[in-house]
Amino acid sequence: MIEADDLIALVRNYNPKTNEKLLREAYAYGREMHRGQRRRSGEEYFSHPVAVAAILTEQRLDDASIVTALLHDTIEDTPATHDEIAGRFGAEIAELVDGVTKLTNLQLNSTQTKQAENFRKLFMAMSKDLRVLLVKLADRLHNMRTIRSLPPERQIAKARETMDIFAPLAGRMGMQWMREELEDLAFRVLNPEARNSIMRRFITLQRETGDVIHKITNDIRLELEREGISADVFGRAKKPYSIWRKMEQKEQGFSRLSDIYGFRIITEAEADCYRVLGAIHRRWRAVPGRFKDYISQPKSNGYRSIHTTVSGRDGKRVEVQIRTRQMNEVAEVGVAAHWAYRDGVRTENPFAVDPARWLAGLTERFDSAEDHDEFLEHVKLEMYADQVFCFTPKGDVVKLPRGATPLDFAYAIHTRIGDRCVGARVDGVRVPLWTRLKNGQSVEIITAEGQTPQPSWVDIVATGRAKAAIRRRLREEERERFIKLGRELTRVAFEHVNRKATDKALAAAAKQLGLEDADALLARVGAAELSAREVVQALYPELAESGAEVDAKRAVVGLQPGQSFNRAACCQPTPGERIVGITYRGRGVVIHAIDCETLSEFEEQSHRWVDLQWHSGKHAPAYPVSLDMTIRNDAGVLGRICTLIGEQSANISDLHFLDRKPDFFRLIIDVDVRDIEHLHAIMLVLEAESDVASLERYRDPGRRP
């Protein structure tokens, strides 16, 4: 474990004016609070906070961040309190420690809805002070470096959370080195065989070709010396996970993967960056489509650099990054450069991004999300996005994530332009709206009055802003349609009881039903979430009763007084079908559908026939009808079938299997329906289900009443 003097020395290296007393007191307090606690590895627990603080010194962070690292687990794991820390170390540090504690308590890899809500809390904590996240990232990095002491199942959970959330977030903050290390540490846990395979390939390649990095580095240095350019050159092999991701994306084997080496050239001045680029391209052939100028078009996190890929020694592709020393400082620590110190003063790096502005840009679109899934989608789109830069016809730059389309471009300019978009020209050529944009293209959006977003657009666009705007507009249009339909349904229902569905009446009904206003009421009626009859009943309960369901005992018209009836089991007649009755001595009348095969048995007994018909009113769902179904034998299919029937306001009264095969089940389901229209509606939704192979109404002449 690093001792207090050694930690203070690390801070003093970049900040000679550090508050040594504060650091020493925080070290002593943290050690005392964690006394007796051990990590799973058996080490003294306080070694972890000290290691986190040491990681932050590599980013040259301020004293408050270092102290927060030393104390970041005290509120959660020791008797220490927020007030006690505030009294000893000040309100600023207490708030930072409290923020890290809240982040630690978020279970970000939990269920989808909870995960989305926790993301909201994470961004709220970040918005107060971004240093909270810097400490948390360092905490996660040290935990991943020492993850082997955890049980295997917890290793996997931590690694997956790191890969899904913390690594992309570090990259979005511009801390690329941390992103790469977090990804590689998680990769080591999640897919050790793949990582070991890549490492073995590297060793074999190095044995066959020698030290390629050293050779290419010397080649670049010689070329720069010829041009009289002073610069530092560094080379490295890419991380195993980065190589694995390229292999997966390009569907290529290791032997066919070319750009596995990366080189960085650090210059003194911005003009030298372009001189270096010219020298590199004169000496080696540039790979088309692999040039990016992030100096003229910086990333939103402040990253500036020139990227190019060339065919180097022996035809091997190598990626070259060119930037100044100040640009490199930002590239190394990203947004953290805002708090970086040198020689006792905050570093005035002109390329460092104001964290508040960076965070505002990151979270700008999230407030428009109206549900958990949508918010989570926004977050992940923003965190994983690489950028392309396109131009408006006037030459303004629009930044978009890779994979963006002209629709994303339109919504990035203004929501109204996106909603009215009917086409686009890219570099003067008319293109489909699903075209993927590339760096440097000029995009012109074609609009038309009356155009509205289409549902398919949600799958075309790549940005959270565009998806949110499209969904919001579609919801508005759907709501308008539901309101229109609900108004017509309530009008008919009110006229049925000789009343008018006036605005005042609807507003009163909405209040009675606990809804916001008349439009909310009509939208729910139109969406079948509320029946028009319930609206009438809310205002006129005594009148609504007249429209009550027909009593089952009075369901059939044409019987003699005191005469009872039963439905025939063979044909299961249902209200809405033509029926006939057959009298039985001592049993009353049995009703058959007019087309029932059993009736042929009574052709010579006309005296037993009774002319009947169903009551014209609304019937209760009390008439079982058997359905003969063949469905796919797979998990969840039967449950989904039952759900579909339930959504049609029908009850399943019986169910039994006729045949069971490895791929399919054949079964009989008895469903209680109101009438023949209700039955048809149920069969229609079931026939539309892809897991239903066949469906028909089941009638068995052998079944007797």
Residues with a catalytic annotation lie at 76-77
- How many helices (H) and strands (E) would you count in the chain? 29, 23
**Residue 502 structure tokens:** 């006036």
CB 421 within 8 A of CB 451: yes
Q: For residue 308, what are the β-bridge partners?
A: 320
Closest to 633 measured CA to CA, from 654, 659, 651, 653: 659
Rounded distance between C-alpha atoms, residue 490 and residue 508, angstroms: 14
Compute the radius of gyration of the chain from its Cα atoms. 36
Cα-Cα end-to-end distance for the chain: 87
Strand order in the sheet with 623-632: 651-660, 664-673, 623-632, 692-697
**DSSP category for residue 442:** B
Residue 189 structure tokens: 């846990």
- Looking up tokens 């890969």 gives 163
Residues with Cβ within 8 Å of residue 173, at least 6 apart in sequence: 133, 137, 301, 334, 335, 336, 358
CB 468 within 8 A of CB 374: yes
| Residues near 693 by beta carbon (within 8 Å), at least 6 away in sequence | 630, 631, 632, 664
Work out the angle at residue 301's Cα, subtended by the Cα atoms of residues 299 and 302, and round it to the nearest 5 degrees. Answer: 70
Here the tokens at position 31 are 């050690």
User: 610-646: b or e for each residue (b if 16 or more CB lie within 10 Å)?
Assistant: bebebeeeebebebbbbbbbbbeeeeebbeebeebbe
Going from the C-alpha of 53 to that of each of 7, 50, 183, 241, 588, the distances in angstroms are 8, 5, 21, 27, 90
Closest alpha carbon to 409 in 445, 373, 381, 375:
445
Picking from 71, 346, 299, 30, the residue whose alpha carbon sits closest to that of residue 175 is 299
Residue 635 CA to residue 257 CA, distance in Å, equals 41
Instruction: Report the C-alpha gap between 501 and 481 in whole angstroms.
Output: 18
Are 66 and 53 a contacting pair, CB within 8 Å?
Answer: yes
| Dihedral over Cα of 628, 632, 633, 639: its sign | negative
Sign of CA dihedral 412, 416, 420, 425: negative
Helical H runs in 513-561? 518-526, 532-539, 541-544
Comparing C-alpha atoms, which of 575, 703, 576, 689 is closest to residue 640? 689
Strand partners, 425: 430, 444
- DSSP assignment, residue 313? G
CA dist 436 and 446 (Å) reads 17
Torsion sign across C-alpha atoms 676, 682, 685, 691: negative
- Characterize the bridge pairing of strands 613-614 and 556-557: antiparallel
For residue 59, give the nearest of 110, 16, 15, 124 by alpha carbon: 15
Cβ atoms of 575 and 533 within 8 Å: the answer is no
Pairing mode, strands 664-673 and 623-632: antiparallel
Give residues with Cβ within 8 angstroms of 541, minimum separation 6.
Answer: none
Residues 6 or more apart whose Cβ sits within 8 Å of residue 638 = 631, 665
